[in-house]
Amino acid sequence: MSSINEKVTAPFVSAATDNRQSLSPKVGNSISERGPKINDESDLDDWNDFQMISSPDYLYTISLTELYDTAYRPKMKIVDDLISSGAYLFAGAPKVGKSFFMAQLGYHVSSGAPLWEHTVHKGTVLYLALEDDYSRLQKRLSRMFGMDGIDNFHFATHAKNLREGLDGQLKKFISEHPNTKLIIIDTLQRIREVGGEKYSYASDYEIVTRLKQTADQHNICILLVHHTRKQSAEDCFDTISGTNGLLGAADGAFIMLKEKRTDSKAVLDIVGRDQQDQRLYLLFDRERCIWQLAKSEIQLWKELPDPLLESVAKLLTPESPEWVGSASDLVDRLDEIDIQPNVLTRKLIWDPNRNQTYTCWKDG
């Protein structure tokens, strides 16, 4: 895929407050792109390919080279350092304040207002408040945020469960609201399929996996509100009601804990596949019914800066936000970096630590 003749464009790194979604074009061939052109049966190779993948024993694979030469779409940030696209669990004991937090999160994402010190990326929010009614929601939200409305914050108090067709309802909403970034389902129990294996590992894993597929397909976040059980555990995430299949399939989880239900203080523990583990200490403002951040603790490790990206960033300024040239030209400009042009191209395509998108075009 990559060659010395490819051109690399490095756009200017935007500020943290820039709400534009980064684009990560897929430079390599996708599965669909590499599939045979079965409409042209005159092409014997394509026809043989079609017969091959039609075999029940066919296993699609890609090589390490193809893996490196493909730019996959990055996860979309919803709230910086807190939540990204994917499927997440938000668990806590009954009446601990989960629904107030959900309303607060939905309001901030739909309005784009920062949540504490975290940058929020504005987008449409759907809140399935399946244990509430509209009157209660009206009273709660007006007390929390006043009477100014937001057109892209949507609510529903009834929805189908997964067996009845919740997936289709969510996909239709997303198609009608293409800027959707967050869907909150409060609670998970309301959309679970009723059956004899309701609490099996396989069933729990499948529930989250189905919702994760929708989230991944549309690059949005689906946040599932759930309960914890009464039994204590050394690891607070082991208190999530149900089997480990729920957490095993999810991209991350939040656990809200209080020593006493009547306390105004709570601890929010956060784990995720693509973020650092952290703990937030929260205070509940009973007058406004919103959660305030008292302090935060982040796992004691920090990603080291990438010398390559730092060198590339030095070429860019607000006055000259793009640099265009071949991979070889860019290598010549990076005096402090010893790297081959094809390796440089790959690095700029898919580096997981990048804060900006690099797009490669082939000459011609």
Per-residue pLDDT of 122-144, as tens digits, reads 999 999 999 999 999 999 999 99
Task: Give residue-wise pLDDT tens across range 81-108.
Answer: 999 999 999 999 988 999 999 999 999 9
267 with 90: CB under 8 angstroms? Answer: no
Domains and CATH numbers, the chain: 1-28+304-364 (no CATH), 29-68 (no CATH), 77-273 (3.40.50.300)
CB-based contacts of 40: which residues, under 8 Å, 6+ apart?
Answer: 46
Residue the block writes with tokens 């042209």: 40
Q: 76-114 in b/e burial notation, b at 16+ Cβ within 10 A?
A: bbbbbebbbbbbbbbbbbeebbbbbbbbbbbbbbbbeee
353 with 11: CB under 8 angstroms? Answer: no
Return the beta strands (E) in the chain as ranges.
Answer: 7-9, 77-79, 83-84, 86-92, 124-129, 153-156, 180-186, 221-227, 252-257, 265-272, 278-285, 290-298, 324-326, 359-361
44 with 32: CB under 8 angstroms? Answer: no
Q: In 3D, which of 281, 284, 254, 253 has the Cα closest to residue 267? A: 281
- The residue ranges of the chain whose pLDDT is under 50 are 1-42, 196, 300-301, 351-364
Q: In 3D, which of 173, 254, 186 has the Cα closest to residue 218? A: 173
Q: In 3D, which of 275, 221, 226, 218 has the Cα closest to residue 247? A: 226
3-state helix, strand, coil in the chain (%, to 5): 30, 20, 45
222 with 215: CB under 8 angstroms? Answer: yes
Helix (H, G, I), strand (E, B) or coil at 244: coil
290 with 146: CB under 8 angstroms? Answer: no
How many of the other CB atoms lie within 10 Å of CB of 248? 12
Residue the block writes with tokens 């668990």: 91
216 with 86: CB under 8 angstroms? Answer: yes
How many of the other CB atoms lie within 10 Å of CB of 72? 14
Give the pLDDT of residue 12. 40
List residues bridging with 49 in a β-sheet: none
Return the beta strands (E) in 165-227 as ranges.
Answer: 180-186, 221-227
282 with 268: CB under 8 angstroms? Answer: yes
Give the pLDDT of residue 176. 97
237 with 256: CB under 8 angstroms? Answer: no
Q: In 3D, which of 82, 118, 136 has the Cα closest to residue 268? A: 82
As a whole number of angstroms, the distance between CA 51 and CA 285 comes to 64
108 with 119: CB under 8 angstroms? Answer: no
As a whole number of angstroms, the distance between CA 232 and CA 247 comes to 17
How many of the other CB atoms lie within 10 Å of CB of 218? 19
List residues bridging with 226 in a β-sheet: 91
